[in-house]
Structure 1
Amino acid sequence: MSSSYDLIVIGAGWYGLSAAKTYIELHPEEKVLVIEAENSCGGTWSKDRLYPGLKSNNLWGSYEYADMPMSEDVYGVKPGEHIPGAVLHQYLTDFAKKFGVFERTKFNTKVDAIKSTEDGGWEINVSEKTGNSQETLQTKKLIVATGLTSQPNMPSYPGQETFTSKLFHAKDFCTESDTVDKCKKTVVVGGGKSAFDCAYAFASKGDAQVDLIIRPTGQGPVWICPPYVTPWKKMMEELLNTRMLTWFSPCPWGGEDGFSVPRGMLHGTAVGRFLVDNFWSVLSSAVIQDHGYNDHPELFKLKPWQNAFWTGSGIGIHNYPTNFFDLVKEGKIRVHIADIAKLNGSTVHLTNGEVIDADAVICATGWKKESSIKFLNFNSGLAKSATERESLIKQADTEVRDLFPGLKAQPILRSEPKAEEPLRNYRFIIPSESVFKRNIAFAGMVSTTSTSMFATTQALWICAFFDGKLKREPKSADDVTKEIMLHSQFGKWRYPCGYGASLPDFAFDSLPYVDLLLNDLGLKSHRKGTAMLELTEPYKPRDYKGLSQEWSELQSK
């Protein structure tokens, strides 16, 4: 059986829902389908991924769609509160229903393969996850919005076939949530925020004991920031999206905000770099002091290994009901800087010689940072030979170092970075070979704490791109390649302790990226009431309310 559509969106998370909603608004007569592998909306916040105690890192007001405020009377979340996972799942489901996306979504459907067709469209083979039914779909345009948390990165340990206790990835914590009450001795592997979440869920229950394993050759413990940071106690997400503060982070698209002069001074002069270094020192010192890393030998094990400057979106926020670090000081969470040497029976053997009894081992070991989609006859990467790619990389690296001399002093890492080809897309959205075909886009293949702002602006940009109505279009294939290489190589230099070497990673460079997309669209990027507010008032999703309507009115003039 074959069904034809004007647009198919793969994924019903933040980006997929926003992309479908925006396209439906601008193309009400066209046939749109959303394909979702899970049985509900939400992506990371889908029903079967809501583990105990899961909350957003973002506080209320910064994690909502611009066109649908998360009202307190409906969702029960107040200003200054983190949003429970169950509330986010309901909110995203309500959004899908309100804007006609839910009724166009095919759930429990897995994409097996995608093939480009001679007429410039796509053929998509899908199958039901819960049955044997298969189907071939046809579409003129395709948006891949599967995100970066679809495929768990599950390690393999010697002896795990003989391990008699529970062993699972943090992705399955929801379906294995009964372990919180059943297991008294739990091992959690990982140094990221999800590892801390799992450790807290167990350790905060009565007399449970948690052993947190952080491998010595990894990136180390995550930066866990208080919800309010710096001596002025500002919300972290507000700091990241305050225009004047974004100047303190080097960024090749930073000039899109219209303030190239102060940016140039801060990153192009010795005095400016001194100010930048002090800014980041204040941020880092405030977090270290608030958590008391230097005041307790066990807490010291959780002190981040590198300056916060080199870490992108992978920071975490302390959003727990009680103090996580008190559990460490009380010995309910024991931190081990070691690898797992082997599993045997119900014991975990570490490389430092320790042997730990465990009722369960949870691997909070992250995700495979790549699309889970299989393309049969389409190269979504940069179509260049190895020699050409090496030359382009060398040119881009030189340009990055010349633009931002401060990035030459790279941190010394405990492990060699993986030799992998990063995601290389135009505007971090369009594969290089498809820029002039206008038939495919990747939404949300980025890591950022400004998810809702990115989802809204990327969705509109993609629609305008598909329709050939961007005010600022790419001029040539060479220009496209040059930009892709500069931006993707910048990530390697900017965030060596984050995801920068493998995918677009954003922190203080998030707001300038939104500016970049809005400037392409011909829409105003300065959206505050006064010049002073433009510099000092944080941007939030509400600042982009009615963006699609603005765009439609601009096209009718």
Structure 2
Amino acid sequence: MTMDTYDVVVVGAGWFGLSAAKTRLELHPSEKLIVLESAGSFGGSWSQDRLYPGLKSNNFWGSYEHPDFPMIEEVYGVKHGEHIPAAVLHRYLTDFAKHFGVYERTQLNTQVQHAKQDEDGVWELITVVSGVETAIHTRKLIVATGLTSQPNLPTYPGEETFTGVKFHAKSFWEHGDTTKTAKNVVIVGCGKSAYDCAYSYATADGTQVDLLVRPSGQGPVWLCPGYVTPFRRMLEEMLHTRALTWFSPAPWGAEDGYGVAREWLHKTGIGRFITANWWNTMSNETIDTHGFDTHPELFKLKPWQPAFWTGSGVGIHNFGSSLYDLVREGKIRVHIAEITKLDGGDVHLSNGAVLQADVICCATGWSKESTITYEGVELDGLGLPISADEKIRLREEADREVLDRFPILINQPVLRYERTKAEPLRYYRFIVPPSQFSKRNLAFAGMVSTVSTASFANSQALWISAYFDGKLKREPKGDDEIIKEVMLHTQFGKWRYPCGYGDSLPDFSFDALPYVDLLLNDLGLKIHRKATQIAEIVEPYKPRDYRGLTLEWLSMNGGKQGVGLDGE
């Protein structure tokens, strides 16, 4: 087994991995850095082998680009008011890697299987390339494998007899030709990817689609119009408008400098009344726009819980025509049922129905289990030597603080499914396991669910490099402070997004902008980046507002463009 040694290894060549590598190279151009990617191309979720028919971004042009690498219309053919085709995003991220010197430092088709930390904090990684194992040593490790690496593919009784083809939505690209040949398609799931697949099949000639809403699941996704409110504002712009983020509770909310406004909205009676009505109006607009209450089949796709309790899982209706018209026309039939067994070409449902199918596409989400096994590091729970009783006390203390600060969270929704009892990811700033903080050799980039991908990737990348270098302007004072904050932030997620991912991992919606503020405050960088105070409150933040962030950091810390902190 051969051996290579690096200063930094980044695992993953999606948004977060590429941003982490780009920023590290800008700050330390002389370091030996490599990016290891299991796929055969760049892009992560937008890699070449995941570009299924009709796939495009939920985000509009202008909100899904790296701050330092604009998606120029003349180059990429996408303009204001348009969603970005998946093939364009794949090309863009590949160009990004080339532009910032990451391309030639990336090794594709490389699976990292094992990471072992020795007593000195050095990592040994076991990688597999074409069946051959290789050992790599690195002083610092950035894991950016994301949350959509391992598909959750269910199995059904009798599937060995199934005469059609069954696959996960991740593999839709492999089976794209079935949109031209399939006559009867069953889609399992009712999230955005399920709707993407259903739309592709239903708009083909002569294809009947049956969409299964599983009673054991979370129900139909909130699929919002791209433009909302009478003022026709882009939903993603509303998510990143400061004044509107105040309506969403967040323990890091005051990082934006408007803590008084936030406290009034969430602690006073009239403030809570205004906040509740604002959220109800947001939900009702989507319900009225799609006509869920006007048609019996559409009613089956009405979300089960108010949008308030759902985080980043909210989708945008970015199809060329109305998905819901296809339901009205019967081209997509909706069933609230589970698959009980397969028999040849028959699909038996729990409601007694039997469907014909030559394709079963399972849009059934992702496994949150890591693709890497770790040794010499504790990643579960807090990862610190704390007794079980003390963990319970800390959790209860955090719960009390969350509900005291945000009474709107007390009346939790009644769910149709059992919530997970597993511990959520409890990382400091959602990046560093508490047990590893003092070692400064491990960080997780992109272990969050968010629609603010570009801004998150950029700010997390700079935060990670500053943390590795011991140059954060604000750091916790010991384990006690780390534990208290981590417990507060992660317990908040369980209360805030019970219909999203809050039970298991960080989920973000209207609380995304103040999270970026949190990281920038740690770095000592300016958070109010608009031209005027009014603009700061009412104008939406876009990735371009954070252009040159790394150069600002370099200037503040004695480096300069083209040189970095290495001085070379």
TM-score, length basis structure 2 = 0.97
- Following superposition of structure 1 onto structure 2, how do residues 303-342 of structure 1 map, counting pairs within 5 Å? 303-342=302-341
Q: Distance in 1 between matches of 2:301 and 2:254?
A: 37
What is the alpha-carbon distance in structure 2 between the residues aligned to residue 254 and residue 134 of structure 1? Answer: 46
Three-state SS of the structure 1 residue aligned to 2:151 is coil
Deviation at 1:119, TM superposition (A): 1.9
| Map of 1:423 onto structure 2 | 425
Conserved? CA contact 1:247–1:262, under 8 Å: yes
What corresponds to 1:24 in structure 2? Answer: 25
User: 1:109 — aligned with what?
Assistant: 110
- 1:35-65 per-position Cα deviation (integer Å, ceiling 9, x unaligned): 0000000000000000000000000000000
**Matched letter for residue 461 of structure 1:** W
Return 439-448 or 292-301, whichever deviates more. Answer: 292-301
Match of 2:127, SS state, is strand
CA distance in 1, matches of 2:291, 2:370: 39
Per-residue Cα deviation, 1:121-140 (whole angstroms, up to 9, x for no partner): 10000011xx2221100000
| CA distance in structure 2 between the partners assigned to 1:404 and 1:465 by the alignment | 31
Matched, 1:540 2:542: yes
Q: Does the residue aligned with 1:33 lie in a helix, a strand or coil? A: strand
- 2:196 aligned with 1:197, yes or no? yes
Unaligned runs of 5+ in 1: none
> How do 1:215-226 and structure 2 match up within 5 A?
215-226=214-225
In the alignment, which of 552, 555, 559 is matched to residue 553 of structure 1? 555
Counterpart residue number, 1:524: 526
The answer to whether the 8 A contact 1:310-1:498 is kept is yes
Name the stretch that deviates more: 50-59 or 410-419: 410-419
Whichever residue aligns with residue 133 of structure 1, its letter is V
Letter in 1 for 2:147: L
Structure 2 distance, partners of 1:524, 1:83, is 30
CA–CA distance in 1 between the matches of 2:388 and 2:218? 29
Aligned to 2:395, the other structure's residue is in SS state: helix
Deviation of residue 454 (structure 1)? 0.1
CA distance in 2, matches of 1:368, 1:62: 28
In structure 2, C-alpha distance between the alignment counterparts of 1:95 and 1:168, rounded to whole Å: 31
- Structure 2 residue matching 1:556: 3-state secondary structure: coil
The one-letter code matched in structure 2 to 1:474 is P
- Per-residue deviation at 1:15? 0.1
Q: Deviations over 1:208-255 (max 9, x none)?
A: 100000111211000000110122211011000000000000000000
8 Å Cα contact 1:5-1:32 kept in structure 2? yes
Q: Distance in 1 between matches of 2:517 and 2:347?
A: 49
The within-5 A match list for 1:274-423 is 274-381=273-380, 382-383=382-383, 384-423=386-425
CA deviation profile, 1:176-228 (whole Å, cap 9, x unmatched): 11111111100000010000000000000011100000111211000000110
Q: C-alpha distance in 2, partners of 1:154/1:388?
A: 37
Distance 1:442 1:217 in 2: 31
What one-letter code is carried by the residue in structure 2 that aligns with 1:112? Q
Deviations 1:458-485 (A, max 9, x none): 0000000000000001111010011111
In the alignment, residue 89 of structure 2 is paired with which amino acid? L
- What displacement does 1:155 show? 1.1
Point out the more displaced range, 531-540 or 283-292. Answer: 283-292
**Map of 1:497 onto structure 2:** 499
Could you say what secondary structure the match of 2:551 adopts? helix
Cα distance in 1 between the residues matched to 2:179 and 2:387:
51
Verify: 1:245 aligned to 2:244, yes or no. yes
Once residues 444 and 468 of structure 1 are traced to their aligned partners in structure 2, the CA distance between those partners, rounded to angstroms, is 21
Question: Quick check: 2:43–2:94 contact (8 Å CA) kept in 1?
Answer: yes
Distance 1:454 1:121 in 2: 27
- Return the alpha-carbon distance in structure 2 between the equivalents of residues 486 and 162 of structure 1: 50
In 2, Cα distance between equivalents of 1:370 and 1:519:
31
Whichever residue aligns with residue 16 of structure 2, its letter is Y
Q: Residue 126 of structure 1 contacts residue 137 of structure 1 at CA under 8 Å; is this kept in 2?
A: yes
Q: Which residue of 2 aligns with 1:458?
A: 460
After superposition, what is the alpha-carbon deviation per residue over 1:308-333, rounded to whole angstroms, capped at 9, x for unaligned?
00000000100001111100000000
**What is the CA distance between 1:372 and its match in structure 2?**
1.8
Amino acid at match of 2:211: L
Do 2:113 and 2:371's aligned partners in 1 also have CA atoms closer than 8 Å?
no
CA distance in 2, matches of 1:120, 1:359: 53
Q: For the Cα contact (< 8 Å) 2:118–2:376, is it kept in 1?
A: no
Which secondary structure does the structure 2 equivalent of 1:280 belong to?
helix
Residue 75 of structure 1 and its aligned partner are, at CA, apart by 0.3
Q: Which runs of 4+ in 1 moved over 3 A?
A: none
Cα deviation code 1:349-394 (max 9, x no counterpart):
0000000000010000011124322102221121244333222211
> Equivalents in 1 of 2:400, 2:89: separation in Å?
43
Query: What letter is aligned with 2:19?
Result: S
2:114–2:127 Cα contact (<8 Å) kept:
yes
Q: Pick which of 391-400 and 48-57 moved more.
A: 391-400
Distance 1:74 1:32 in 2: 29
2:476 maps to what in 1?
Answer: 474
Under a length normalisation based on structure 1, what TM-score does the superposition of the two structures give?
Answer: 0.99
User: Which amino acid is 1:47 matched to?
Assistant: Q
CA contact (8 A) 2:377 2:436 kept: no
What is the SS of the residue equivalent to 2:57? Answer: strand
* Paired amino acid for 1:539: Y
- 1:94-124 C-alpha deviation (Å, 9 max, x unpaired): 0000001010001000011000012211000
Residues 1:484 and 2:494 are matched in the alignment: no
In structure 2, C-alpha distance between the alignment counterparts of 1:474 and 1:13, rounded to whole Å? 30
Counterparts of 2:324 and 2:27, CA distance in 1? 49
RMSD: 0.9
User: Partner letter of residue 253 of structure 1?
Assistant: W
Q: Give % identity.
A: 62
Alpha-carbon distance in 1 for matches of 2:185, 2:78: 32
Q: Which moved more, 1:244-253 or 1:131-140?
A: 131-140
Q: Partners in 2 of 1:61 and 1:268 — Cα distance?
A: 35
- What amino acid sits opposite 1:145 in the alignment? A
Answer whether contact 1:231 1:286 (CA < 8 A) is retained. no
Amino acid at match of 2:291: G
Offset of 1:23 from its aligned partner? 0.0
Give the number of equivalent residue pairs: 555
Map of 1:143 onto structure 2? 142
What is the aligned partner in structure 1 of residue 253 from structure 2?
254
Aligned to 1:65: 66
Contact 2:46 2:89 in 1 (8 A): yes
